[in-house]
Amino acid sequence: MKNYINLLFSLLFLPAILFGQAKKAVKPDSRLEKLKQEAVAAVEANTVMAQQINDMLFSFSELGFQEEESFKYLTTLLEKEGFNVQKGVAGIPTAWIATWGSGKPLIAIGSDIDCIPKASQKPGVAYKDPIVEGAPGHGEGHNSGQALNIVAVLAVKKLMEREKIPGTLMLWPGVAEELVGTKAFYVRDGYFKNVDACIFTHVGNNLAVSWGDNGNNGLVSVKFNFEGQAAHAAGAPWRGRSALDAVELMNIGWNFRREHLELTQRSHYVISDGGDQPNVVPSKAAVWYYFRERTYPKIKKLFETGVKIAEGAALMTDTKFTYEILGSAWPVHTNKVMAAAAYDNIKKVGLPTWSEEDQLLARASQIELQAPKVEGLAVKLDSMGMPTSSAPVVMMGGQAMTPMGGGSDDIADISWSLPTIVLRYPSNIPGLPGHHWANAISMATPIAHKGVVYGAKAEAMTLLDLLLKPELIKDAWAYYKDEQTKDIKYEPLISPKEQPAIYLNKKIMAEFKPKLEKFYYDPAKYKNYLEQLGIKYPTVRDDQREAVKKQLDKEKSTAAKVSSSRSE
């Protein structure tokens, strides 16, 4: 009888118990969603701030290791916002770490700040028109990421203060990313040792995130220095030992060796020192190589091959050589769990609404640069990127080849040290060459401004997930330990003796900084950088405008034919 009464009680009150439990489970989620909406509104309210940071960094146009104005501007801004700023980290004068809050989780939020040589370009102009001829410029768009991060973090910081949410936010810059010159040093020197999760932002053509192996290469950046003996090049050349000959022979040797390297390798070089003048046998010369491959062991093997060829060149010319590692990066591997959370937020945010002017600039630029497709700016979200297939794609000499690699990014070294994702946001024009003046066309225009704001919304929402859902970080670490690093362990490509090459680009910036200073953005006087430069948005030639019109007419005609055939 007692069991019967207990059973009856359970049946009568079970729905109420379950409803109460469900109500408890829903509460945190409903609170989180409300906070996310507030964060999005706070980002939107800071649109002007995002635009000003974006345009200011664009106007500085500073190469890697020489980001002095960017350093002063960003650290001053963050100190005013209440962040504790540690300057000159890892022995790099333009590097810093800004923290706010206390306790766990500790979340790192980073983005690059350097630009590209000879990429100076007026924003909003759909053809080559440099601000300063020959000067550096933001031909990748690194001026935009810190604007995104700061606006997103300030929105979350405001909510953390009000709601008394525990946690620490850590903002940091990717200094000299184009040289892959710093992030491995950050990791080596322990700056990410206690970080629980990292969100990195990088300019792109869509609002997107991916996970796993992204299919790109890692690399080691090495400068080979040869030393010979000077002599009068005409009077007594037999007394000379040409370091330049050694450099040229090394390059010849490497180019012959390419035939016998794996198809996944990418390697390239520049002669950074070829001597002083023709009538003096060069006693010193240098060549700078990037050795890229798909795995850590293959990168090391490629580098070792380079050293052997340098040794051979030195023997042939009776010179000596040394080498200096200037930077390194592993192949990127990002976190599946964090990517899924970020993508849920991306779907809620969606893409910006592009104006006719935005699309005209994009299409005109694509036509000018002969892009593979002339489709304008993205109007549909990408799906969440999946990892590169580990299945062989080609069989060569009995060896299974992995998918071909491409570029490199030293965020990889952080991604192999803790759970990390890369959030891409739509501030650049699709189909442009990359590392090129054309990629600067959109980067201080409404296209960049809108992309930054929408990226900041997605990032702010994801930061709240990490702060308020402990299981998210726990699961992210489980993926990192049980899947990503189960069979592959991170080993730095730099040794304890290497130091950041902070001397790089000094001469170039010394030449161009006085010329660029005249064009630094002044937000106190001008609404945006376009206004300061007196640029009508968009600036498009008549022939470009006509070409865009023809392209649009063609698309309309094709769409009409497709619609007609379907209706039949």
Q: What are phi and psi of 261, to 5 degrees?
A: -105, 155
pTM over the 0.85 mark: yes
Element housing 43 (H / E): helix 2-45
Q: Which residues pair with 220 in a beta bridge?
A: 291, 328
Q: What CA–CA distance (Å, rounded) separates 128 from 16? A: 69
Q: For the segment 17-76, what is each residue's pLDDT rounded down to a tens digit?
A: 444 444 444 455 899 999 999 999 999 999 999 999 999 999 999 999 999 999 999 999
pLDDT band at 215 (very low <50, low <70, confident <90, very high): confident
Q: Say whether pLDDT at 393 is over 80.
A: no
- Sorted by sequence, the CB contacts under 8 Å of residue 203 that are 6+ apart come out as 140, 141, 142, 144, 145, 424, 425, 427, 428, 443, 448, 451
The percentage of the chain sitting over the pLDDT mark of 70, rounded to a whole number, equals 91
Residue for token pair 């995130």: 209
Q: Say whether pLDDT at 251 is over 80.
A: yes
Q: Say whether pLDDT at 6 is over 60.
A: no
**Residue range 450-471: average pLDDT?**
98
Q: Say whether pLDDT at 258 is over 80.
A: yes
Q: Given this model, what pLDDT does residue 84 score?
A: 98
pLDDT band at 256 (very low <50, low <70, confident <90, very high): very high
Q: What CA–CA distance (Å, rounded) separates 154 from 463? A: 11
- Helices 446-468 and 2-45: crossing angle, nearest 10°? 150
Reading the block at residue 505, the tokens are 């680009």
Q: For the segment 512-522, what is each residue's pLDDT rounded down to a tens digit?
A: 999 999 999 99
Q: Is the dihedral of CA 503, 505, 507, 513 positive or negative?
A: negative
Q: Which residues pair with 151 in a beta bridge?
A: none
DSSP output for 311-367: HHHHHHHT-EEEEEEEEEEPPPEE-HHHHHHHHHHHHHH------HHHHHHHHHHHH
**Residue range 170-188: average pLDDT?**
97
Element housing 107 (H / E): strand 106-112
Q: Given this model, what pLDDT does residue 389 score?
A: 53
Q: Given this model, what pLDDT does residue 211 score?
A: 96
- pLDDT averaged over every residue in the chain: 93
Pick 425 or 216 by higher pLDDT: 425
Q: Given this model, what pLDDT does residue 171 score?
A: 98
**Residue range 225-243: average pLDDT?**
97
Q: How many residues can be counted in the chain?
A: 568
Residue 376 contacts residue 359 (beta carbons within 8 Å): yes
Reading the block at residue 72, the tokens are 């002063």
Q: Given this model, what pLDDT does residue 567 score?
A: 65
Q: Print the SS3 string covering 203-263.
A: EECCCEEECEECCCCEEEEEEEEEECECCECCCCHHHCECHHHHHHHHHHHHHHHHHHCCC
Q: Given this model, what pLDDT does residue 394 score?
A: 54
Q: Which residues pair with 204 in a beta bridge?
A: 426
C-alpha distances in angstroms, 495 versus 317, 322, 499?
A: 30, 16, 9
pLDDT band at 280 (very low <50, low <70, confident <90, very high): very high
**What is the gyration radius of the CA atoms in the chain, in angstroms?**
27
Q: Given this model, what pLDDT does residue 440 score?
A: 98
Q: Choose among 64, 175, 157: nearest CA to 116.
A: 64
**Residue range 71-84: average pLDDT?**
98
